[in-house]
Amino acid sequence: MSIASNVQLLPEVEAFLNRNSLASYVGGKAFPAASGATIATIDPGSGNKLAEIHDLDASEVDRAVDIANDAFPAWAALPVDQRSKILLQLADAVEKHKAIIGQIEALDAGKIEAQAQGDVQNFVDTLRYFVGLSQQVNPRTKLDVPGHDAWTYKQPWGACAFIFPWNFPFLLIGWGISPALAAGNTVVIKPAEDTSLSAIYLAELATQVGVPDGVINVVTGRGATAGAALSNNKKIKRMSFTGSPEVGQMVGESCGRNLVPVKLELGGKGAAVVFDDVDVKATAEALVGAITFHAGQVCCDATRWLIHENIYDEFEGYCVDLMKDIRIGHPLDPNSQMGPVVNPKQRERVLGYLEKGQAQGAKCLVGGGAATVDGFQGNYIQPALLSGSLDNTAAREEIFGPVAYLTKFSGEAEAIGMVNDTEYGLANSVWTKDKDRANRVAESMTAGNSWINAHNVFAQGVPYGGVNKSGMGGGVLSVETLMDYYRSTSVVRPLG
Ligand code: NAD
């Protein structure tokens, strides 16, 4: 496989990509589309084809759900220690293959290779976290009911469905399926059509380390067919969707019709509130680092930067200099700081918002166009900084690219009002040395997550989720998430 002369592929990655086509994986084996239909998956950094994935139709997705439901009773019946042992073997195997999976992910999603490896480690840590928690769950809880013997009994649901986006394909699979598997459910994963490779690799690896057939299934294909079939399937016991609010609404409608419990993890338009007592340079570095991380394709990013008027000019100056210096390049080039966006459509979307924003009066302080990288025809964009009124479309809608919107404020209440003037509610941050003010503002911002003097901090055990247009259904990554994957039966016996 030829990507470019300065990009070296691991032999295992070459071998994986050199197969004629990469089928879905269901019931412990390759699960090709009967029609033979495939979708090309492209390296966003070079525009070259990496492989073909199979484009399943609705009946094939339905069959995968049946296979997952068939595998459920035996998986659920395993004592928790035995199930844990198998899942920990999977965690170990993924960790051992980190370089391979990381490179596949970097190529498929256009993610800087070191960051992709970090995502793989995050998967491993998440799986180990939920396996550990599941060993603490007591399935029976005695209830204190006078004159009765009463208890609740927790058990897994069955086949759980997951639909994922393209920005953090492998990490999000870990966040999604780990609690479900640890609780004893089987899973059907529908990855995004642009980034299905790491999911297929995972499912194959799972079989190699002894995960029973049908416990982890991957169905590839288009959202409107394979994704819609999964969310419309009446035999799935739970649905978890991560992606855009528009598709999330459709998935929510289908699940509502079928009375299937659903989790929706959706988009965001987060803010960072920067007070005038901060280290201005360090804060500018942190926020520029956050908005250029994975080319700004991060749902919880701070995209509206609200800066106290006393430090606004100084802050703007640092940000402009920092953004000019970002080294844009192919994700496998170790010198690259920022890679491409995932596909040409996404690049057009980002450039379109830059145009619309300026047409509505925003000033472009730096960047604002396509970027070129020598030797590569990828979807590269210059990181950009807009400034102006928050009524602007570019300040109100999710752009999902390396674009931040700068504006100034003079008082705390005004800043909180600006943060909360949005349909979204995923994640915000406040930056100040004043602890009381930081705590007050953090608790006043309407969202699932607030950070203080940091942005994008994730730790297993800290719940992560959104409100309003950013999501519903309880979020991910915490003890509560594990409990979502058990259903509860109460049992009551009158005494005497
Ligand atoms: P998307 O909604 O276009 O696609 C997500 C998934 O849904 C893909 O697998 C796609 O194939 C599938 N899909 C598309 N149409 C479907 C349909 N009709 N029925 C069922 N499934 C369908 O989102 P995207 O462009 O892949 O991802 C970007 C979005 O994801 C952004 O809005 C981002 O903020 C959000 N996101 C949120 C989180 C979070 O945790 N809150 C995390 C990552 C990304």
- Cα 291 to ligand 1 centroid, rounded to whole Å: 20
**pLDDT tens series, the chain, 496 aa:** 656 666 789 999 999 999 978 999 999 999 999 999 999 999 999 999 999 999 999 999 999 999 999 999 999 999 999 999 999 999 999 999 999 999 999 999 999 999 999 999 999 999 999 999 999 999 999 999 999 999 999 999 999 999 999 999 999 999 999 999 999 999 999 999 999 999 999 999 999 999 999 999 999 999 999 999 999 999 999 999 999 999 999 999 999 999 999 999 999 999 999 999 999 999 999 999 999 999 999 999 999 999 999 999 999 999 999 999 999 999 999 999 999 999 999 999 999 999 999 999 999 999 989 999 999 999 999 999 999 999 999 999 999 999 999 999 999 999 999 999 999 999 999 999 999 999 999 999 999 999 999 999 999 999 999 999 999 999 999 999 999 999 999 999 999 8
Q: Looking at ligand 1, which atom is closest to the CA of residue 175?
A: 40
* CB distance 294 to ligand 1 below 6 Å: no
Residue 195 Cβ < 6 Å to ligand 1: no
Mutate to test the pocket of ligand 1, among 108, 299, 462 (most ligand atoms within 8 A of CB): 299
Per the DSSP assignment, residues forming a β-bridge with 188 are 161, 217
**337: DSSP letter:** S
Q: Choosing from 255, 299, 300, 364, which is the catalytic residue? A: 299
DSSP state of 223: I
Q: Do the Cβ atoms of 241 and 165 come closer than 8 Å?
A: no
Q: What is the pLDDT of residue 464?
A: 97
**Does any ligand 1 atom lie closer than 6 A to the CB of residue 296?**
no
- Cα–Cα distance measured from residue 369 to residue 379, given in angstroms and rounded to the nearest whole number: 11
The pLDDT of residue 35 is 98
Residue 408 CA to ligand 1 centre (angstroms): 32
Cα(284) to ligand 1 centroid in Å equals 30
The label of the residue with tokens 């994704």 reads 227
Reference 434, options 284, 302, 276, 308; nearest CA is 276
**Full set of structural domains in the chain with CATH:** 11-266+470-490 (3.40.605.10), 271-452 (3.40.309.10)
Taking the CA atoms of 417, 423, 429 and 435 in sequence, report the sign of the dihedral they define. positive
Nearest CA owner, ligand 1 atom 10:
223
Nearest-angstrom CA–CA distance, 233 and 62: 7
For residue 423, the model assigns a pLDDT of 98
Is 402 close to ligand 1, i.e. is its CB under 6 Å away?
A: no
Active-site annotation holds for 265: yes
> Which residues does 14 contact at the CB level (< 8 Å), separation at least 6?
1
Identify whether the C-beta of residue 424 lies closer than 8 Å to the C-beta of residue 244: no
Rounded CA-CA distance 301/426 in Å is 9
Whether the CA torsion 240, 105, 40, 62 is positive or negative: it is: negative
Taking the C-alpha atoms of residue 34 and residue 55, their distance in angstroms, rounded to an integer, is 9
| pLDDT for the residue 3 | 66
State the closest ligand 1 atom to the C-alpha of 247, by its place in the atom list counted from 1.
2
The confidence score (pLDDT) of residue 111 equals 98
Q: Which residues contact 37 (CB under 8 A, 6 or more apart)?
A: 54, 55
* Closest-CA residue to 197 (of 223, 213, 218): 218
3-state secondary structure of 206: helix
Q: What backbone phi and psi angles, to 5 degrees, belong to 376?
A: -130, 140
